[in-house]
Structure formats: structure tokens, C-alpha cells
């Protein structure tokens, strides 16, 4: 593929940072003109706040990933709201330290758990059930409460251009405030026994990038849709992080920017 017209368009999102390796990863992306939304955990920002300031100064968008990275279905509504608000305040403070106005408020739930299930375990178990049950929420009032609170704080669903809804399991994913993904790199399974699809091995994780099954959440080789990619800032997968990004570059991906 040569030139942008033939390039796969993607939005890169990175969860769970900042880690001890965060600054090096951000510099690596910046030097290659790769844009990304960084969904950071509040308690981690407190530990590495200067590194987040540096990322802001380089033009990266800092999103909220709550304060402790807990399943929201395991939290009370008040606990969930506190986790959201605490992280919102920390991100505001960090932008102020950087001397840059916060351009956009975006949020991603830990584990993509919107808080509408009976527990975190129940949320995880639903994915082994029929697809018709994946997006049912037995405690829908809680899910709505968290969505409304995010709106009150000014959080919005960004405009992700050219995502083909034909390939989405959840046709309503852009109707809510929180940000999800269309392609999960699954590198967090590295070294985990009994990981699904053999994703405990580096070869399988990197091989996922070459697969072309758009109706199964693997559309990176499908040019009639853009993708929201999910990878993570985990120290145990730092070496693999660079290999993944280099493979995206080799495939001539065009990294889109929200703001």
C-alpha cells in the first residue's frame, strides 16, 4: 500500500498508563508522528505526573480510565462517581501544570465494564454466553447513572470517522459517552497460561495484526473501515509494544488524530 489513499486509517488508544516506561513509549510515538489517546489511571498519573505533562506538551490527548482500574459493576454508584471525579480533577491539574487548555474530555471504563452488570465476574462471564446477551444490562439504571455523570462533567464521545458499523457487534457503541475499541491487540495476555486464541505467545499477538476477519473484530486489513486500536502501557509488555507499533508502521497505517 502506497500513499494515504491506500493506507489503513486507525485511531491508536493506549490504556492503563502511565507506567515506568511511559515517557520512552510516548517519545517513540512522537518521533514517528503517531497520534494516540492515552487513557490513564488516576493513581498512576499521581506517580508519574511529570511524564504525563511531557506527553501533553507533545500533543497527546489524555483520557480518563478512572482512578483504580476496578470493575464498575463491583462499585457502588457513589464509589464509581468518586473514581471518575478524582481522575477528572487530576487530569485537569496536569493540563494546568503543562500550561495547556484541556481540549477534550474522553473516558474509557476499565475492562469496558459500564457498571450495569451484577458484578465484575458476571460481566466477564457474559462473553461466553450467546451474543444476544452481550449487551444486556441487568442493572441498567447504574449504567445510565454513570453515563449521566460523565455528561455532567463534560465528557463526550469523540467523532471517530469512517468506522463501518456493519462490522460492529455493538451497533450502539457510539451512542454512549464512553470510548470503546474496534480492535483489541490482546498483548496483555502475553505469558498468561490458557490465554484465548493462543495469545500467551508473542507470535500469535503479532499475527493478529495480519488477520482479516472484520466481522470478528479483526479488520486491520480491511480498507473500507477505520479502526480504534486498543493496546496497553504495561511494563511486562514494553518490548512487545515497540514490535507492535513497528508492525503498524510497516503496514503503512495512517494514525488519525481526534483533536
DSSP per-residue string spanning the chain:
--SGGGSPEEEEEEEEE--TTHHHHHHHHHHTT---EEEE-HHHHHHSHHHHHHHHHTTPEEEE--SS---GGGS-HHHHHHHHHHHHHHHHHHHHHHT-------B--GGG--S-SS-HHHHHHGGGS-GGGTT--TTHHHHHHHHHHHHHTT------TT--GGG-S-TTTTTSSS---SEE--GGGTT-TT-GGGTTSHHHHHHGGG--BGGGTB-TT-TTS-EEEEEE--GGGHHHHHHHHHHHHHTT-EE----
Q: What is the mean pLDDT of residues 29-33?
A: 98
Per-residue pLDDT, 28: 98
Per-residue pLDDT, 2: 40
Residue 210 confidence (pLDDT) above 90: yes
The predicted-structure confidence for 150-198, as pLDDT tens digits, reads as follows: 999 999 999 999 999 999 999 999 999 999 999 999 999 999 999 999 9
Candidates 3.20.20.370, 3.30.1490.20, 3.40.50.300, 3.30.750.80; correct CATH number of 4-255? 3.20.20.370
Q: What is the mean pLDDT of residues 61-86?
A: 98
Per-residue pLDDT, 5: 54
pLDDT tier at 259 (50, 70, 90 boundaries)?
A: confident
Q: What is the mean pLDDT of residues 29-41?
A: 98
- State the pTM of this model: 0.96
Residue 1 confidence (pLDDT) above 70: no
Residue 114 confidence (pLDDT) above 60: yes
Q: List phi, psi (to 5°) of 25.
A: -65, -45
The predicted-structure confidence for 6-25, as pLDDT tens digits, reads as follows: 799 999 999 999 999 999 99
Angle between helices 49-57 and 22-31 (to 10 degrees): 10
Amino acid at each position: 500500500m502506497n500513499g494515504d489513499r491506500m493506507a489503513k486509517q486507525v485511531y491508536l488508544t493506549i490504556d492503563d498508563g502511565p507506567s515506568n516506561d511511559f515517557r520512552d513509549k510516548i517519545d517513540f510515538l512522537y518521533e514517528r508522528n503517531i497520534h494516540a489517546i492515552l487513557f490513564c489511571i488516576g493513581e498512576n498519573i499521581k506517580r508519574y505526573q511529570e511524564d504525563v505533562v511531557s506527553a501533553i506538551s507533545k500533543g497527546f490527548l489524555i483520557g480518563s480510565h478512572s482512578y483504580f482500574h476496578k470493575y464498575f459493576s463491583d462499585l457502588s454508584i457513589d464509589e464509581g462517581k468518586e473514581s471518575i471525579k478524582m481522575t477528572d480533577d487530576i487530569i485537569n491539574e496536569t493540563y494546568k501544570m503543562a500550561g495547556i487548555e484541556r481540549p477534550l474530555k474522553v473516558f474509557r471504563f476499565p475492562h469496558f465494564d459500564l457498571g450495569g452488570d451484577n458484578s465484575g465476574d458476571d460481566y466477564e462471564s457474559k462473553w461466553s454466553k450467546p451474543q444476544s446477551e452481550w449487551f444486556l444490562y441487568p442493572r441498567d439504571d447504574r449504567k445510565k447513572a454513570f453515563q449521566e455523570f460523565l455528561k455532567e462533567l463534560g465528557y463526550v464521545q469523540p467523532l471517530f470517522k469512517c468506522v463501518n458499523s456493519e462490522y460492529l457487534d455493538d451497533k450502539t457503541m457510539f451512542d454512549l459517552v464512553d470510548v470503546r475499541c474496534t480492535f483489541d491487540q490482546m498483548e496483555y495476555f502475553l505469558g498468561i497460561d490458557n490465554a484465548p486464541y493462543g495469545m500467551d505467545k508473542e507470535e500469535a499477538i503479532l499475527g493478529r495484526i495480519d488477520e482479516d476477519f472484520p466481522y470478528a473484530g479483526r479488520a486491520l486489513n480491511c480498507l473500507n473501515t477505520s479502526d480504534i486500536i486498543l493496546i496497553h502501557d504495561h511494563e511486562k509488555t514494553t518490548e512487545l509494544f515497540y514490535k507492535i507499533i513497528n508492525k503498524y508502521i510497516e503496514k503503512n497505517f495512517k494514525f488519525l488524530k481526534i483533536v
